[in-house]
A and B are shown apart, each in its own frame.
Chain A
């Protein structure tokens, strides 16, 4: 079946390091793609999205580009902060009703 696969964590980085979290998907057609972030003890928040091929989503210094050829939507940030420590989820839309399929999540730990 269709799926969303993202790299396992935890990913541990020093402050100001470069962050990449890989995400690939399998799907029929061209779903919308999302990155959600979950800070400790909280619900998920939408970080960024892209709705069609070659779209780049960006927010709070994070970026991800919808790559149709490689069915990928990798998340990047050039210089992470301690406050970026969280669990990051890649997701795709499954239909026109807003239902989402999530990857397993990647925990990111940023140390001072």
Chain B
């Protein structure tokens, strides 16, 4: 089982550049999430999608957009990257409401 697959694993961007982080899950989960992990702060929710066709903001949505392309895929876009967006990004999925999330391996993004 692949579980949750994220691409790319590493990325370096220059300030102002854009990019899209891809995420796909093969567990038929309804809910998908994007978190960022920063030292000393744990994981913070950027956006989530409770089901195909719906998305909503989390705790730290500024500077990001998302697309729930279909039930499997949930992408995160940085339109104009800033150094403050240097972080490790995790995609996760779960059966709606359980809190039992399955995480991808993460994308380490550096914005210079």
Question: Do A and B belong to a common assembly?
Answer: yes
Tell me whether B50 is interfacial, beta carbon within 8 Å. Answer: yes
Tell me whether B69 is interfacial, beta carbon within 8 Å. Answer: no
User: Could you give, for residues 67-105 of chain A, a 1 whenever the CB lies within 8 Å of some chain B CB and a 0 otherwise?
Assistant: 000000000000000000000010101001111111111
Tell me whether B109 is interfacial, beta carbon within 8 Å. Answer: no
| A contact residues around B18 at 8 Å (CB) | none
| B contact residues around A101 at 8 Å (CB) | 45
Count how many pairs of residues, one from A and one from B, have CB atoms less than 8 Å apart in the complex.
64
Tell me whether B53 is interfacial, beta carbon within 8 Å. Answer: no
| A contact residues around B98 at 8 Å (CB) | 98
- Among A45, A89, A99, A105, max chain B CB count under 10 A is at A99
Complex Cα gap A45–B103 (Å): 7
Once A96-B97, A97-B48, A99-B58 are accepted as A-B contacts, the answer to whether A43 and B104 lie under 8 Å apart by CB is: yes
Tell me whether A66 is interfacial, beta carbon within 8 Å. Answer: no
Once A43-B4, A43-B104 are accepted as A-B contacts, the answer to whether A97 and B96 lie under 8 Å apart by CB is: yes
Complex Cα gap A4–B14 (Å): 34
- Among B42, B90, B105, max chain A CB count under 10 A is at B42
Quick one: closest B residue to A51, CB to CB?
B99
Shortest CB distance A103–B (Å): 5
Beyond A43-B104, A44-B43, A99-B45: 6 further Cβ-contacts under 8 Å? Answer: A34-B100, A43-B103, A44-B92, A97-B97, A98-B48, A98-B98
